[in-house]
Amino acid sequence: PPLPPFASPPPPPPSPSALSQCTALPSPPARAANRRSAGLSMMLAGNLADNWVPDELVKACESCSLKFTFLNRRHHCRFCGHIFCKKCSKTRVALPDEYGYEGPQRVCFACVPIIEGRMRGTGKRRAPGTKRVEPRERQTKDTGVDDMVMLSKIDEKSIVDNLKKRHGCNLIYTYIGHVLISVNPFKPIPDLYSQRTLLDYRGKYPYEMAPHVYALAETMHRLLMSEAESQCVIISGESGAGKTEASKLIMQYIAAVSGRGEDVTRVKDIILDSNPLLEAFGNAKTVRNNNSSRFGKYMEIQFNAAGDPVGGRINNYLLEKSRVVYQHQDERNFHIFYQLLSGISNDLMDEYGVRGSPTPDQFHYLNQSGCYRVDRIDDLNDFNDTVNAMDTMNITTEEQKEIFRFCFAILFLGNIEFNQNEKDESFVSNQDALQTFAHLIRVDPKAAERSLTHRTITTGMGGRGSVYAVPQPIAGAMYSRDALAKSMYSRLFDWIIARVNESMFCEAYNSIVIGVLDIYGFEIFKNNGFEQFCINYVNEKLQQIFIELTLKAEQDEYEREQIQWEHIDYFNNKICCDLIEGKRPMGILTLLDDVCNFPKGDDEKFLAKMSDQFATHAHWTGAGAGALAFTINHYAGDVMYNAEGFVDKNKDLLYDDLVLLAQASQSQFIQQLFPDETGSKKRPTTAGHKIKSSIAELVKALSKCSPHYVRCIKPNNNKAADQFDYQLVEHQARYLALLENVRVRRAGYAYRHPYEKFYFRYRVCSKKTWPSWSGDAKTATEHILNDSQIDPELFRYGVSKIFIRQPEIVFMLEEKREQALYSYAVKIQEFFLVYIGANNYFYQIRVEGNEFVKGKKERRRKSLERPYRVDYIEFKENNIVQSIVERYGDECIEFGDNCLTFDSKAIPHRRVLVLTNEAVYILGVAPRKPPGLKKGEKFDINMVNEFYYGLYRRIALTDIQHISASALADDYLVFHVINQHATVVELRRKTEFFAVLQRQKAVTVNFGNSISFSCKLPKGKKAANQEVSLQFSKSDGGDSKVVLAGKGMWTVAVPSGMPPSSEPIIEQKKATVQKMQMTQAVSPRGAPSSTASAPRGGGGARATSPRPSPGGRGGGRGATSPRPTSQRPTRGG
């Protein structure tokens, strides 16, 4: 097809003389791999090899004429082969599977409608796995920038405008350097989280793909492997901004890219199934979020040296216990209660003694808000998921029955009502609810009533003390009832967390971890109480961590390292954190604990003490005389708190009468939930003290990890799709400090590391520092950067660290390092395959192959004595071949060689045969013509070293009925496939192929000089297949070529060979390997690790499995290599 029209005409193709005069450096192997990858689409779309332009000769974009630099990189269009800049090309355009690409590719804007028109013009459905290519009008729409560091104008309006543009195009993810911004779309977006999308991000660097939470998860997993350092992600934002969904997607990605061993699979199942279980017991509908997390969760996933999860632990914070007994209008209690009423079986209801089919409106703890159903939440299906998750956690059936029984007990406890006599002594007025509650927890009903309506008080000390059972008024009885319900549910939730941790327990205490923090976001309601105060305090601490690590710490480091820097002002919320948690002077929580220590301390005294202490504080304001409220100026805005209930909720008391009632239960399950020691004079720990302690432990755990950030933004308060509230988003962007983050990132350096670590990681990138170096680390760093030809303006030398401005520079160094390491690994592997061990692989393959054909087929002398090496197409370094194979699963390539296949007219076609442990692949191959040739001009194919590949046929080993071969000295094989046409192959190294094939599957091979098979006919014929008879005959003048003798008759004249009984002389090669101490490659104890940090927000290589460069310096994403786990050595290795 003709070239697509360009915005400006492309430059004329270079002449041969121009090629000879070109002084550009030769392309590195990675860039050559890119061109091989991109050429595949041209080969299958038409013969466009003439139009493929070598990137060394193009100095500017062929559309807008923008000159190429190190940062403005070249991008080949995968359809027309010409070179464009990033702005003139489009990413993530899906091409049909037969093009041989793994995932969407980059094409120029002009080719997009041509690709779509070609698909429509065929009148056929698109190939499996392809996506609809968007119209050009959609492609050219202003979608904002992927990274807001690249905004031309830096202010709040530009940031919000960019988020609005991307939200309108369903692009919900945006970067600020290494920080990921996520805008909740409130709707499903097609293919955003599909399995294909997940695989697209596997093994990719952040700059190779569009912003996505999968890219952040891949970066975390890569750094975990390459740095051997723990990673964590802090997910923050308002309630309803999508924090829980982000945490689930991160865990889903980590589970998907990990190994497949039995123990690993078990841990992954627990990690994934913990989500529905904890959501059932810890999430609820609020006015802002239909699935709001009402507790904080920090999940640590432990990994082994191979990068596979082996265990984990969950720490929970601030369960909103008050929701059990009360919900605001249009809210719900925890999901589990509604799931239970929807999914519980009648048999269990009878066993529990619950009559009829109760509904939520019949329970006081569920009917206060008037909300029972939630859009897009199916309580019945969710209940089934919860039960399955319990099975995964090894929670037995009996324990599950006890859990559900306990939940019903809480519901019936809430239905207990009280009345009082003339002495103001309360009693239970509805005995049915009391009887059912007592039956469910297996206690005496009278004991239950006494525990709820009386309070035991002890006076005096020792033998002089007296014990009194004081009757409670109605208010006291209701307080006891609700306190017992909250305590029961809280203890049940803690028990479930403990069982999940028990299921994930791993004794590898020194293992590295990935931590995922998901804690409910900042909340501002009409009535804000103690719970909202605690929640917002935690969010203040998280905001402080973000400021300390991204803004303050970064600027402080520049000053220490004497890097020129213009200070950027930002709001530091430490003053607000000190207001809440301070000790000297006392903060609000310390003051609250002090009030709780006095017997007559109440909410009025607490408010009075705050007024005296904080009257002049800039972030605290009283509500005035007579109002039991106060206001705190948080980083996210002013919040007025109702002080009523602060003292009681902070005391968090559960009377001994209620503890003794639970301990008297005949259920061992309930007894273990209440191990409390009653009668103790020790002052109980307050809720505020517990919160401060747990948050301090959380901050300590986060400080041990390399942090990553997801800042979630809610576009509107109506939970509506395609609605963007500008003022609401602007407010969130302001208190999340996005503007300051952009300024610091734009003026700062993306990567900084000590010279020792930098040298140890990248020493292979310079011949001056590898294989030996005796100088200091700073000088070695200078050699590495100079030899890599990096612009000096893009890095700075500090006192003890190197600072690099752009992460792309580090990505380039990583690719260069991986290439070097991979080449070393291949050489070592090949050496071991040939020389090492009594049973080395190639020796065994040669013995097995010759034994297999001995006495069955004549041999050629050259074939008989040749060495074996399995890989004749360099599949270990061929990213395209590997990506084609990887589409069908985690298969291992065992053999690869060039071959010929034959069509129905016996015409040969050049192909590549690849054998894996699962299938035989026949790949189409075409040479890349040398640049500068005119159309139709011939060239020497032996001088070509680059080819285009595409999948011609895949034959699963289980589908091979048998293979036929002649008994003469020829190279023909016929693959007979069950219920399909056969394939005729001329394969020179057939004996070696037989040996490797038999190791994968015992396929039958028939030897005979007359072979009948079914041949596929071209399209348009009446019949799909044709029966063919292939006859072999011995002839001294034969040329071993297939001749079409007639319809359905092929003949081959084969010259005489050596007798079938011939045996080669096979000598085993041996070599001695001595272990030597490496003085440079292994760092001494106390010295920096041999792995160094990657740039903040991406980069880093998997040192455990070196691989070819993922895309090269100029290539784009077409030849991105598959995940290293699939690039394994041969079986013999």
Residues catalogued as catalytic: 239-240, 244, 289, 292-293, 521, 523
Residues 6+ apart with CB under 8 A from 732: 237, 238, 241, 636, 713, 714
The neighbouring-strand residues paired with 467 are: 458
- The bridge status of strand 1025-1034 relative to strand 1010-1016 is antiparallel
Radius of gyration of the chain (CA): 36
Helix/strand/coil (H/E/C) assignment for every residue in 747-782: HCCCEEEEHHHHHHHHHHHCCCCCCCCCCCHHHHHH
Q: CB 1106: neighbour CB atoms within 10 A?
A: 19
Task: Confirm if 181 and 713 have CB atoms less than 8 A apart.
Answer: yes
What span, in angstroms and rounded, lies between the C-alpha atoms of 73 and 552? 33
| The two three-digit tokens of residue 875, written as one number | 């599949």
Q: What is the DSSP string of 1034-1067?
A: E-TT----EEEEETTEEEEEE---B-TT------
From residue 392, how far is each of 272, 380, 1099 by CA, in Å?
A: 10, 19, 35
Residue 446 identity (one-letter amino acid): K
Q: Is the dihedral of CA 192, 194, 199, 203 positive or negative?
A: positive
What span, in angstroms and rounded, lies between the C-alpha atoms of 844 and 852? 12
Three-state DSSP state, 556: helix
What span, in angstroms and rounded, lies between the C-alpha atoms of 672 and 403? 13
DSSP assignment, residue 859? Answer: B
Query: Residue 974: what are its φ and ψ, rounded to 5°?
Result: -120, 120
DSSP assignment, residue 988? Answer: T
- CA-closest candidate to residue 520, choices 330, 338, 284: 284
Query: Residue 117: what are its φ and ψ, rounded to 5°?
Result: -65, -35
Residues 6+ apart with CB under 8 A from 423: 471
- 334 half-sphere exposure, CB direction, 13 A CA radius: 29
- The bridge status of strand 629-634 relative to strand 283-284 is unpaired
| The two three-digit tokens of residue 740, written as one number | 């300051």
Task: Confirm if 967 and 857 have CB atoms less than 8 A apart.
Answer: yes
* Dihedral of the alpha carbons of 271, 273, 277, 280, in degrees to the nearest 10: 110
Order of strands, sheet of 1005-1007, starting from the edge strand that comes earlier in the sequence: 947-956, 919-927, 908-916, 893-902, 983-986, 972-977, 960-965, 1005-1007
What span, in angstroms and rounded, lies between the C-alpha atoms of 312 and 424? 53
- 376 half-sphere exposure, CB direction, 13 A CA radius: 8
- CA-closest candidate to residue 111, choices 92, 132, 136: 136
Three-state DSSP state, 902: strand
Q: CB 601: neighbour CB atoms within 10 A?
A: 18
